Amino acid sequence: MSLRYKILIAITTLMILILGVLTLNLWVSSLGRIKTEQNKVSDSIKALVLIWVASVKESKDWTTLETKLRDSMYFKNWIIVNDKLELIVSSTPPADPTIYAQDEKLRKTIETGKDIIEGDVIYAPVVMPSGETLGIKVEIKQLTILNPFESIKVILLIMPLGTILLIISIYVLLNRLVLKPIESLSEASRGIAEGNYNVSLPPATSDDEVGTLIKAFDAMLKEIKEYHTSLETNIEDAHKKIKTTQEQLAIAQRLSATGTLAAGIAHEINNPLGGIMNAVQALKKETMPPKKVKEYLDLINDGLYRMRETLKKILQFFPRKLVPQAMDLRSVIERASQLIQHRFDQHNIAVMNRIPNNLPQVFGDATELQQVFLNLLMNASDAIVALRETQPKLTDRGKIELTTELSKNNITIMIADDGIGMDTPTVSRAFDIFYTTKEPGRGTGLGLAVVHNIIENHGGQITINSKKNKGSTFKVTLPILQKKLEAMTKPTN
């Protein structure tokens, strides 16, 4: 509800309340005044009746009194009874004269000697010279002074009209001096909130509080306009600087990545290449025995095999299309575990596979996912061995635990080990290409980078939770089969 209607309702309610209080007060005053007038009239009429009755006290000639009452302008009906409530005279003789014996008010006024007034009817006692008390019941004709409604009619006519005029006057005054300026300020505020700083304000034509508010609002609006213009300019300049910096950073990152990749490739290929070159030089000797020739050829074959494996891993980062199909993750993980079971047995590592048999199927390439879990299991095994090398006193059996979590659309495989773990800086670089914490010759730095790339290509994600000397947990999250993977049709990045 707007302020305009609230003020109108408040003014109307207040004026109706005031009208009601004034009307009630005038009504009560009028009733009191009318009661006073009735008492005066009653006393006057009673005195008049007593004078008339006194004239017949001796003679008891009620005919004269009856004539005076009938001709009077004040009386409509009358009854006079003795102290035994027997009828003496009446304006309209009843069929049963003894009926007045049942009139309790006549009986009461005779017994108490007090007047009783009920509206236009007056009960009064009259004491005769003989000591007898008569009872008079007089019904007075309606007089102007006894009408309680004339003044009330005037009140009920004038007061509402005055109240309505007062409400209209107050509302028009408030609307002009307060409501319209405030409404204009409210519309201007809404425009500013929507980004329009060219709103128009009402002119400050007065020096009162509303005029001061309009002037202050106008000054504030000018400051906001200036600040907004300055802010837009600063943001535009900052955006240009950020864009330039980002372009420069992207170039630097590409150069750095290219250098890192080249250095890694050179390192991984140079060692076997050096062995091959030495073997070739040795094979040039014609006097070399066949057994030695075979050894050098095997050496050349091993070197070429290592170079081929390195190039295959590097090719994982080149764009290619996958051929996905529905598969059971538990079977994929079991095959990967079986491939390195000899390593677990060799290093006394227990693998606890808590993955249930009834997992939902996922959509992906089985060979690539097997490579993912093979790499993660090998890393877990290497982490346990590394911890034992740093703490030779450890005799407990190493442990790798495989568990799952299911959500509405995804399945998460968790591979937890109690190995050497990683600190925060190491975790942040774990998926970088050619980054490794292993000794030279024991790690290429390609394993987790390839794993991360494969998982992303399957529309999933991989995270690490690790603490130094406390172990690591790798979480691999993949969409279940019901969720069609748009990412599966995208080329590998």
Q: What is the CATH number of the domain that holds 39?
A: 3.30.450.20
Q: How far is residue 328's CA from residue 333's CA, in Å, rounded to a whole number?
A: 9
Say if residue 67 is exposed, middle or buried (CB neighbours under 10 Å; 0-12, 13-18, 19+).
Answer: exposed
Q: What is the pLDDT of residue 221?
A: 75
Residues 340 and 418 in one domain: yes
Number of domains in the chain: 3
Contact yes or no for 410/479 (Cβ under 8 A) = yes
Contact yes or no for 336/373 (Cβ under 8 A) = yes
- DSSP assigned state of 391: -
Residues 146 and 274 in one domain: no
- What CATH number corresponds to the domain at position 468? 3.30.565.10
Phi then psi dihedrals of residue 354, to 5 deg:
-105, 25
How many residues does the structure list for the chain? Answer: 493
Residues 212 and 107 in one domain: no
Residues 423 and 349 in one domain: yes
Question: Where a domain ends, among 114, 135, 151?
Answer: 151
CB atoms near residue 387 (< 10 Å):
19
Closest CA to 414 of 354, 374, 358, 349: 354
Q: Is residue 191 part of a domain?
A: no
Phi then psi dihedrals of residue 139, to 5 deg:
-100, 115
Q: Which domain holds residue 93?
A: 3-151
Q: How far is residue 114's CA from residue 123's CA, in Å, rounded to a whole number?
A: 8
Closest CA to 348 of 409, 314, 396, 412: 396
Q: How far is residue 227's CA from residue 233's CA, in Å, rounded to a whole number?
A: 10
Strand order in the sheet with 461-467: 349-353, 398-406, 410-417, 471-479, 461-467
Q: Is residue 177 part of a domain?
A: no
- pLDDT tens, residue by residue, 402-431: 999 998 889 999 999 999 888 888 888 787
Interaxial angle between packed helices 180-193 and 3-54, expressed in degrees from 0 to 180 and rounded to the nearest 10:
160
Residues 331 and 423 in one domain: yes
Q: Is residue 180 part of a domain?
A: no
Q: How far is CA 240 from CA 226, 249, 253, in A?
A: 22, 14, 20
Residues 259 and 327 in one domain: no
Q: Is residue 93 part of a domain?
A: yes
H or E element in which residue 136 lies: strand 133-140
Q: What is the pLDDT of residue 486?
A: 45
Residues 267 and 332 in one domain: no
> Collapsing DSSP states into helix, strand and coil, what is residue 436?
coil
Residues 74 and 137 in one domain: yes
Residues 325 and 240 in one domain: no
Q: Is residue 62 part of a domain?
A: yes
DSSP-derived pairing of the beta strands 398-406 and 349-353: parallel
Q: How far is residue 351's CA from residue 353's CA, in Å, rounded to a whole number?
A: 6
- What CATH number corresponds to the domain at position 279? 1.10.287.130
Q: Is residue 164 part of a domain?
A: no
Closest CA to 189 of 205, 200, 175: 200
Q: Is residue 193 part of a domain?
A: no
Residues 282 and 244 in one domain: yes
Question: Where a domain ends, among 276, 293, 315?
Answer: 315
* pLDDT tens by residue, the chain, 493 residues: 565 666 777 777 777 777 777 777 777 776 677 667 666 666 666 666 666 666 665 556 677 777 777 777 777 787 888 888 888 878 877 777 778 788 888 888 888 888 887 777 888 887 777 777 888 888 877 654 445 556 566 666 777 777 777 778 777 777 777 777 777 777 777 777 777 767 766 676 666 676 777 777 777 777 777 777 788 788 888 888 877 776 675 465 456 545 655 666 676 677 778 888 888 888 887 777 888 888 888 888 888 887 887 776 666 545 556 567 888 899 989 988 887 788 888 888 999 999 998 889 898 888 888 888 988 998 899 889 888 888 877 777 789 999 999 988 899 999 999 998 888 888 887 877 666 666 554 444 456 877 888 888 888 999 999 988 889 999 999 998 864 444 444 444 4
Residues 38 and 57 in one domain: yes
DSSP-derived pairing of the beta strands 362-364 and 325-327: antiparallel
Q: How far is residue 167's CA from residue 261's CA, in Å, rounded to a whole number?
A: 86
- pLDDT tens, residue by residue, 278-319: 888 888 877 778 888 888 888 888 888 878 877 766 665 455
H or E element in which residue 143 lies: none
Q: Is residue 401 part of a domain?
A: yes
Closest CA to 450 of 350, 367, 391: 367
Residues 388 and 463 in one domain: yes
Q: What is the pLDDT of residue 437?
A: 63
